[in-house]
Amino acid sequence: MGSTSAENRGTEGVGRRDLIKRSAALGLISVPTMSFLSACASSGGDDSGDKAKAGKKTAKNPLGVNDTAGMEFVLFDGGFGKEYAEDAVKIYEKNFPQAKVKFSATQKIQSTLQPRFNQGTPPDLIDNSGAEQMDMGVLVGKDQLTDLTPLLDAPSYDDPNKKVRDTLRPGIVEMGQFDGEKVWILYYAYTVYGVWYSQKALDSLDEQYPETWDQMLAVCEKAKKKGMAGWTYAGKYPYYLPFSLYPMIGKVGGREVLDAIDNLEPNAWKHPAVKACFDAYYELYKKGYVLKGTPGLDHIQSQTAWAQGKALFIPNGSWVENESANVIPKDFGLAVSAPTGIDSSDKLPFGTIWASGGEPFIVPSKAKNAEGGMEQLRIMLSEASSKNFTGKVKSLTAYNGGTDGIALTPGLKSGVAALDKAGENVVNPRLQDWYVQLQKEKIGVSGLGEMMAGRLTPAEAIKKIQAYADEVAKDDSIKHYKHQ
């Protein structure tokens, strides 16, 4: 399962390192292997005898952490680095001076931790991210995770009168749920997805960011006349296209269209809004507005070409600023916008954007010190730790704030402005969390990738994608999720 996906090929060299850096910000790369599935299925016996005895709950220790128990934290070592986590660990150690903390970082989350889940001896806190991310659906389905509701209902680190859940950005709590009320995952980073561009390049064309598709085509035509392509994207990983295409579908047809797609409803992909948006993107290809050779480019190559001014627009997430920092010119004017719509008949206003959590943190159900793992997260969700993360890695956190007094980089500033403009109109398609292989290999590579390379018409792509979705819906070996 997933063994032929793009990330599993070419495991050496710069491309691999860059890919892993990128997946840190994404928090969505998840390639489960059969060995992991079977490992979960046969997870070790009950060794609750090894669990740390709970400590006394106090105002300063609301989760009742055993202040002498060891705590182990394993971080994904990717594009966000490990300094932000090490800084938060120091606060834990200061608060619990008798507790020994074992902190480590690795890019190989699954192969390092799979045997430990199997033996019933997992760490207390894990950043389950990267190309070797463990499959969340499997972990939840096999009761391998601790419900994080006690953390969410605990007083926040900065304000005892506010619960942790009341300090989080929209959608973070819901993203951690799979079925019902329990919350299994805390996504720590907060990603703004959309269309990224150079304000300087747009100014040089004497244009504003286009709000309707007719305006988009006019801007691309102007760019083409100046020798610049309208668009490029990660052709080898075309599941980047949905970062702007999905919120566009939501804008045109309303949230219910995206919900129907997530719920694998029959004919969800045949909705007129889907067809209108596929037709619009296909027009970019037909009119020659896509940078020549794009289908053969990976994410780093396409971002580099875009940074060099060879293309105006690129669909991406807010990690692109950190990841492309070495190629984006100083005067680039990095900016992000919500996707362009079709016209005034769209269901939602211009500004409708996709933003959601990345960097999924989990506390295993067999953790020896689950309270310690949750307390470490409570510390990370303080204003100071959030500011530290944002200042160091140019990304927002799940904490709703933490930007006051920080000199925001251009992309981050633009992302915050885009979120302000969106207001309530933030969409969060769940396909990429719930059905990883469907989203990446089927819809991305076999559907959208083929259409944007001109090998499928929009109608053919829709038919193919709907068939893939129907296949997953009928497959009883796959756990199915639905919007509540």
Q: Is 50 domain-assigned?
A: yes
- Specify the long-range contacts of residues 210-216, CB closer than 8 Å, at least 24 apart: 210/340, 211/340, 211/341, 211/350, 212/340, 212/341, 212/342, 212/343, 212/344, 213/280, 213/283, 213/340, 213/341, 213/342, 213/343, 214/343, 215/340, 216/280, 216/340
Please name the residues in contact with 25: beta carbons below 8 A apart, sequence gap of 6 or more.
78, 79, 80, 189, 191, 317, 318, 319, 322, 323, 358, 359, 395
Domain that holds residue 232: 193-355+430-474
Residues 19 and 137 in one domain: yes
Residues 348 and 364 in one domain: no
Q: Is 419 domain-assigned?
A: no
Q: Is 411 domain-assigned?
A: no
Residues 59 and 198 in one domain: no
Per-residue pLDDT tens over the stretch 195-226? 999 999 999 999 999 999 999 999 999 999 99
Residues 283 and 332 in one domain: yes
DSSP-derived 3-state class of residue 71: strand
Q: Is 271 domain-assigned?
A: yes
Q: Are strands 71-76 and 101-106 parallel, antiparallel or unpaired?
A: parallel
The residue from 391, 406, 421 where one domain ends is 406
Residues 308 and 160 in one domain: no
Residues 121 and 243 in one domain: no
Q: Is 17 domain-assigned?
A: yes
The residue assigned the tokens 């005067």 is 331
Check residue 33 and give its pLDDT.
35
Q: Is 334 domain-assigned?
A: yes
Residues 99 and 54 in one domain: yes
First to last CA, the chain: 28
Residues 378 and 326 in one domain: no
Residues 79 and 212 in one domain: no
Q: Is 482 domain-assigned?
A: no
CATH code (residue 400):
3.40.190.10
Q: Is 402 domain-assigned?
A: yes
Residues 183 and 281 in one domain: no
Q: How many domains does the chain have?
A: 2
Distance CA 82, CA 275 (A): 43
Q: Helix 272-286 crosses helix 458-474 at what angle (to 10 degrees)?
A: 130
Residues 228 and 335 in one domain: yes
Q: What is the pTM of this model?
A: 0.79
Residues 167 and 219 in one domain: no
Reading the chain (484 residues) residue by residue, the pLDDT tens digits are 333 333 332 322 333 334 333 443 443 333 333 333 333 433 333 344 579 898 999 999 999 999 999 999 999 988 788 999 999 999 999 999 999 999 999 989 999 998 999 899 999 999 998 778 888 878 888 899 999 999 999 999 999 999 999 999 988 998 998 877 899 999 999 999 999 999 999 999 999 999 999 999 999 999 999 999 999 999 999 999 999 999 999 999 999 999 999 999 999 999 999 999 999 999 999 999 999 999 999 999 999 999 999 999 999 998 899 889 999 999 999 999 999 999 999 999 999 999 999 899 999 999 999 999 999 999 999 999 999 999 888 889 999 988 888 888 999 999 999 999 999 999 999 998 888 889 988 999 999 999 999 999 999 999 999 999 999 999 998 888 888 7
